[in-house]
Amino acid sequence: MKVKSYLRVLVAQKEVKEDRKLGIRVITAESGASRSAVERLLNNTIKNVPLDDLGRLCTWLPCTVGELLVLEDE
């Protein structure tokens, strides 16, 4: 089993919904999540997610943790 980040998909959906581009600077500024966590979630290379960053991203998107991080078979 592997945990996969769907942050890139959720951000793309938010971009369409709000008709604007959301780069890393915008995501971190508006959500309050750390840049390193956002970068690693976008690239799906994160091993540990700080709970405060996870909460901030879920509030900002809005989504649930289960929509952002999904457990998948390898």
Q: Which residues contact 11 (CB under 8 A, 6 or more apart)?
A: 22, 27, 42, 61
Q: Which residue has the higher pLDDT, 55 or 2?
A: 55
User: What proportion of the chain, given as a percentage, has pLDDT over 70?
Assistant: 100
User: What proportion of the chain, given as a percentage, has pLDDT over 90?
Assistant: 89
pTM: 0.92
Q: How confident is the model at residue 12 (pLDDT cuts 50, 70, 90)?
A: very high
Per-residue model confidence (pLDDT) at position 73: 86
Q: How many CB atoms lie within 10 A of CB 39?
A: 15
CATH fold group of domain 2-72: 434 Repressor (Amino-terminal Domain) (1.10.260)
Number of alpha carbons in the 13 Å side-chain half-sphere of residue 53: 18
With tokens 């976008």, the residue in question is 42
Domain ranges of the chain: 2-72
